[in-house]
């Protein structure tokens, strides 16, 4: 269920802050969002996958913490990120 290598590279290139950036908050949130979307599709057909749901909840919580951190450090980067990813509606 992990993000494919090519898709991961695309997301890193799109959200990185500098040429060598692979672990900034923006990149981490983008990768987590992709994983969360993939798992959400998985749970539509596998409703009894309780262990997978636990992993999904951990990913959502981790993304929330990263977004809270980004919001406290740079609100303008936070708002641009959530609009690009379509997290808040």
What does the pLDDT look like over 1-51, one tens digit per residue? 678 999 999 999 999 999 999 999 999 999 999 999 999 999 999 999 999
Residue 1 has a pLDDT of 62
Measured distance CA(6)–CA(14) in Å, rounded: 12
Task: Express each pLDDT in 73-85 by its tens digit.
Answer: 999 999 999 999 9
Long-range pairs, 30-35, Cβ under 8 A, ≥24? 30/81, 30/85, 31/3, 32/59, 32/62, 32/63, 32/66, 33/63, 33/85, 33/87, 34/3, 34/7, 34/8, 35/1, 35/2, 35/3, 35/59
- The conformation of residue 83, written as its DSSP 8-state character, comes to H
Is pLDDT at 89 greater than 60 in this prediction? Answer: no
Q: Write down the architecture of domain 5-85 according to CATH.
A: Orthogonal Bundle (1.10)
The answer to whether the predicted template modeling score (pTM) of the entire model surpasses 0.85 is yes
């Amino acid at each position: 269920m992990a993000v494919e290598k090519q898709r991961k590279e695309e997301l890193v290139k799109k959200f990185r802050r500098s040429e060598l950036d692979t672990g900034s908050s923006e990149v981490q949130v983008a990768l987590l969002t992709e994983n969360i979307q993939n798992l959400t599709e998985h749970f539509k057909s596998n409703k009894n996958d309780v262990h997978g749901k636990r992993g999904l909840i951990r990913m959502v919580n981790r993304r929330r913490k990263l977004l809270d951190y980004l919001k406290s450090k740079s609100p303008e980067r936070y708002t641009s990120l959530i609009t690009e990813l379509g997290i808040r509606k």
